[in-house]
Amino acid sequence: MKKQIAFSEIAGNSNGYWALLLFFGALIGAALGATWHMEHEGHWVTGMSNQIVWGVPHVFAVFLIVAASGALNVASISSVFEVQDYKALAPLSALLSLALLTGGLAVLVLDLGRPDRLIVAMTSYNFKSIFAWNIYLYTGFFGVVGIYTWVMMDPRFVHFKKVAGSFAMMWRLLLTTGTGSIFGFLVARQAYDAAIMAPMFIIMSFAYGLAIYLLVIMAVYNGANRPLGDYVVCRMRNLLKVFVGAVLYFTLVQHLTNLYATEHHGVELFILLEGGPYTVLFWVGHIFLGGLLPLAILFHPMARTRAWTAIAASLIVLGGLCQVYVIIIGGQAYPLVLFPGMEVQSSFYDGEIYRYLNSLPELVLGIGGFALVAAIIMVAIKVLPFLPESLEDRHVDPEHSAKKEAREAGEKAGASA
Partner 1 sequence: MTSKKTGMDTDAARRRFLGGAAALTTLSLAPGVTLIASAEAKEAHDATSTKMRWGMLIDARKCDSECTLCVDACRDEMGWGTPADRKPRPKTDAQWIRKVHVTDPKTTHTFSLPVMCQHCESPTCVDVCPTGASFKRVDGVVLVDKHICIGCRYCMMACPYKARSFVHEDISNQKPHAPRGKGTVEACTLCVHRVDRGGIPACVERCATAGRKAMLFGDLNDPESEIAKAVAEFATKQIRADLGLNPGIRYQGI
Say whether residue 332 binds partner 1 (CB under 8 A): yes
Say whether residue 262 binds partner 1 (CB under 8 A): no
Task: Pick the binder of partner 1 from 4, 15, 345, 416 (CB under 8 A).
Answer: 345
The window from 114-122, 156-164, 238-246, 274-282 that contacts partner 1 (CB under 8 A) reads 114-122
Which residues from 24-43 bind partner 1, rule CB under 8 A? 39, 41-43
Nearest to residue 204, comparing CAs of 372, 319, 75, 96? 319
Q: Which residue's CB is nearer to partner 1, number 39 or number 392?
A: 39
CA dihedral for 354, 39, 28, 214, sign (positive or negative): negative
Question: CA Rg, the chain, in Å?
Answer: 23
CA dihedral for 384, 74, 217, 200, sign (positive or negative): negative
Nearest to residue 282, comparing CAs of 334, 323, 312? 323
Which residues from 159-198 bind partner 1, rule CB under 8 A? 182, 185-189
In terms of phi and psi (left: phi > 0; alpha: psi -120 to 50; beta: otherwise), the region of 296 is alpha
Say whether residue 302 binds partner 1 (CB under 8 A): no
Residue 218 CB coordination number (10 Å): 18
The window from 206-214, 215-223, 254-262, 335-343 that contacts partner 1 (CB under 8 A) reads 335-343
Task: Pick the binder of partner 1 from 15, 156, 225, 348 (CB under 8 A).
Answer: 348
Which residues from 308-327 bind partner 1, rule CB under 8 A? none
Encoded amino acid at 362, one letter:
E
Say whether residue 342 binds partner 1 (CB under 8 A): yes
In terms of phi and psi (left: phi > 0; alpha: psi -120 to 50; beta: otherwise), the region of 349 is left
Say whether residue 353 binds partner 1 (CB under 8 A): no
Say whether residue 126 binds partner 1 (CB under 8 A): yes
The window from 161-169, 233-241, 317-325, 342-350 that contacts partner 1 (CB under 8 A) reads 342-350
Nearest to residue 241, comparing CAs of 282, 220, 211? 211
Nearest to residue 210, comparing CAs of 182, 181, 242? 242
As measured in angstroms, the least distance from the Cβ of 137 to partner 1 is 12
Specify whether the CB–CB gap between 295 and 247 falls below 8 A: no
As measured in angstroms, the least distance from the Cβ of 252 to partner 1 is 25
Q: Which residues bind partner 1 (CB under 8 A)?
A: 39, 41-44, 49-51, 53-54, 112-115, 117-118, 120-121, 124-126, 128-132, 134-135, 182, 185-189, 332, 336-350
